[in-house]
A and B are shown apart, each in its own frame.
Chain A
Amino acid sequence: MSDLLDTNETAVEELGPRPGLAPGQTVWELLAAVSPRIKDNPNTYEAQQLNRVSLDQCVKCTICETMCPVAKVTPLFSGPKFVGPQAERFRNGESVDHTLDYCSSCGICTLNCPQDVKIAEINSMARAVMKKDHMPLRDRLITQTELEGRLLTPFAPVANWALKQKPIRVAVEKVVGVHRDAPMPVAQSQSIKGWLKHRKGPAPRRPGQPDRGPVVFFTGCAGTYFEVETSKKTIEVLEHLGFEVLVPKQGCCGLAEQSNGLFDSARKRVVKLCEQLNAAGKELTVISSSGSCAGMIKHEAHEIMGVDDPAVRSVGTRMRETSEFLLDLFDEDELPTDFKTLEMKIPYHAPCQVKSQGMGMPAIRLMELVPGIRVIESEENCCGIAGTYGLKKEKYDVAQAVGRNLFEKVKEHNEGLAVCDTETCRWQIRNSTGVSTVHPVHVIHAAYGLSDVFSPEV
């Protein structure tokens, strides 16, 4: 969309000055200025125009329909083209097909579209409009990922016990609408902030490794409070490779709110987060082991919520998912590959929101640099959880059906370990297979001899 904004900006300039368009003002700001409706409600018809232009490229080839993991398993969702490029022509703010609520926002439709139609983005915007005046309390609660971490961490043992008690879960399902069997994170007694505060300085560099300068690490809410082991191992691998790892004070990226249509709050969060990450250095590479949160900053904030903020844009261009970053080093002959041999077959699932970053599947090539490792790709589009989708009581069964082939494959091929790049997907895979599931960096950490490959997963 940045291209579109730029193009439109040029076009506006060519048409001469317009009332209200100050020098340097974007079309987005112009739209907000000329339309009070867009100012009060950025999810309006006008706001969607920028994605809607891609509709004209839809040739109704149905490739998105054939790839949609939700439509494959349930007739409750009529499919991405049906509720999107087709229904969009009849929307005037309100959606004409309410099965749209069953879209999980995995983005597989956009990813597979050969005509560049922004199907998932159009549908996410339309759902935000649809839910605007009747947002379930549940959707407001489960999107408060940072708050959940902050509340649970001090009481980790009690919280973990409580989340395993069926009567409590049944009550939660009845009152809040979170399914009793839905995967839950494991609360940790120490957050990554606590670990950083209490450890005795950075991990040692590898012998003879010169200093490679600073990088910024974006932990993500789950990487701060729940998947703490992933964050620790990422920091230690980077330090082993000679980087100075800066972990500035940071909040939530707002992805969970975005995928539930709570755009206003999500916009504020992502802007604030990027300002915090910028504070550590405006030119530094930002690395994240939270694959989906990286995607939020790289493109979703912009393409789904129309966020056009200099801090978000700047961090977005410097953001690298951990495997992507390490593999880029390898391609520049800068990654030491004196790995220990790890004789094992590893089932790997590339999460939908990592696939949608257009970078291929760097984790596969990266892990296979380790002698002895053979990666078995899941070949499934989505694990079903799609952030918070699979937690919801009315969608739990759909999410389980979406993930079924993946679970079978993980169970069949694992030798004690499965790998996946995002946190909620790991919770889903662990919960549904019982197999220990880790981020790719866990394997690289072990291959550098920094830990055992069967060290704790969280």
Chain B
Amino acid sequence: MRDVMVIGAGLSGLLAAIRLRQAGLSVALVHKGRGGLQLGQGTVDVLGYRPQRVARPLDELDEFLADQHRASDIAHPYAHTGADAIREGVGYLAELLGEDYLVGDAEVNVALPTAVGALRPTAYYPPSMADGVVSLDPAKPGALRAGSAVVVVGIREFKDFTPELIAGNLALNDLPGGGRLEARADWVSFPARDGEVDSTGLNIARALDDPARRGALVDQLKALGRPGETIALPAVLGHEDPTAFADLRSQVGSPLFEIPVPPPGVPGMRLNDRLTRIAKEARVEVFLGSNVLGADSAGGVLQAGVVGTTGHDTHLKARAFLLAAGGFESGTLELDSYQKVSETILGLPLAIPAGELIHDTWAGQQPLFSVGVATNDDMVVVDPATGEPVYSNLYAAGGVLAGAQRWDEKSGEGIAVASAVRAADAIISNLAGGQR
């Protein structure tokens, strides 16, 4: 029997599994495919909009939650975790990854240029984006400020990054402290391999893992850069070699930053690969490609997860279970054509807002996306009708939680890490008190 079975290997599943393992518990991490972290931008959003842009997410949390409480009868995940778990979770993640992978501050947001030339608020980011930071804190200047000159450089062989669009839009943003950036577009050519004319970002990143290939890019960047300019490139500057970016930057000799692009998103892959490696080296037992089909229970306690290994089902026994399998995007939550929403792994009761779930204004919030499982403050899954635990040893974290509009609020990673550490710590303390 394992101590804990974690279902799902996105940010919350990986982080909780590592934390549980580091506390000495045996952990089986079961997931049907690679988690969503590698599809992300490699940044950690805590709270970006409420709906106005947020500069100090933790200071503004109470007001945000009070507004949420007035607007909906479903509690926001942050109402359960509180600011302390956010601090703890983000700090734990940053410490695990180290400064080669993640830098920032949970207390203060920054704004980062996006692939359409907007400025997106976030809290933590890879060091390769540091030269592109616009500060939202009046006390602190960012790397980019009013009058900063940016040259956005596209790579001819890479189709998902259009420097004219980005530079044009970037120059239209009014900066928080007033003023605007100066931005222009330029191009370089970098065939990833064998004269490839249409490369994925990942192939370019893999080519740049090879120090011998970097010179060709460096020479072109040096030739096009003007004195005082900051260079912006698509986020493809090295994949497995964590020193690739620093080497490129020092060879070019001017400020340089990456702008995240659509998947395959290299910054997200870097974080996912690193966390997966930490989990495996700590001997979290990883079951990749395994669907969880259901569970065995008795007397209100989950006893085993039914894992769909090939040929036969495996009943994987554990003392506690953490559902961290994501929401609609991963298929954990499903909407049928009668507008009935269900949780597909364990058939859990869901918190569903009253009224219409989907409406036809494309830009507004859709109530559907706040559907999820309800929990108490220990992240134990409860029946929203009664507030009682569904199973005494079932916890939930991340995208499956009810009450948030994650992409609208820009709160996805913050919820994932805060709920993951909150659930892990509750499991650790409950198992320490129980019988082995």
Contact = CB atoms under 8 A, between A and B. Distances in A.
B290 A359 contact: yes
Contacts of B32: 114, 116
B200 A360 contact: no
Interface in A54-111: 57, 61-63, 65-67, 72, 75, 110-111
Given A112-B34, A116-B291, A360-B290, A63 B310 contact: no
A65 B199 CA distance: 12
Interface string B265-292: 0000100000001001001011111110
A317 B289 contact: no
A316 B286 CA distance: 23
Contacts of B367: none
A67 B263 CA distance: 13
Contacts of A316: 310-312
A113 B202 CA distance: 17
A111 B264 contact: no
Given A358-B289, A360-B285, A114 B277 contact: no
Interface stretch (B35-43, B212-220, B227-235): B35-43
A9 interface: no
Interface residues of A, number: 37
Interface in A362-412: 364-365, 368, 377, 379
Contacts of B330: 114-115
A135 to B, nearest CB: 28
Contact of B289 (A61, A75, A112, A379): A112
B309 interface: yes
Nearest to B206: A72
Interface in B1-29: 1, 28
Contacts, number: 100
B264 A66 contact: yes
Contact of B311 (A112, A114, A319): A319
A355 interface: yes
Interface stretch (A167-175, A202-210, A292-300, A441-449): A292-300
Interface string B282-308: 010111111100000000000000011
A63 B287 contact: no
B33 A63 contact: yes
A357 interface: yes
B193 interface: yes
A358 B290 contact: yes
Contact of B309 (A318, A358, A364): A358
10 contacts: A61-B263, A63-B33, A75-B196, A111-B288, A114-B35, A358-B307, A359-B310, A365-B283, A379-B277, A379-B280
Interface of B: 1, 28, 31-36, 38-39, 193-194, 196, 200, 202, 206, 263-264, 269, 277, 280, 283, 285-291, 307-312, 314, 317, 330-331
Given A114-B32, A358-B287, A364-B283, 16 more contacts: A57-B331, A62-B264, A63-B263, A65-B200, A66-B202, A114-B36, A115-B33, A115-B331, A298-B312, A316-B311, A331-B317, A356-B310, A359-B314, A360-B288, A360-B290, A377-B280
Interface of A: 57, 61-63, 65-67, 72, 75, 110-116, 295, 297-299, 316-319, 331, 355-361, 364-365, 368, 377, 379
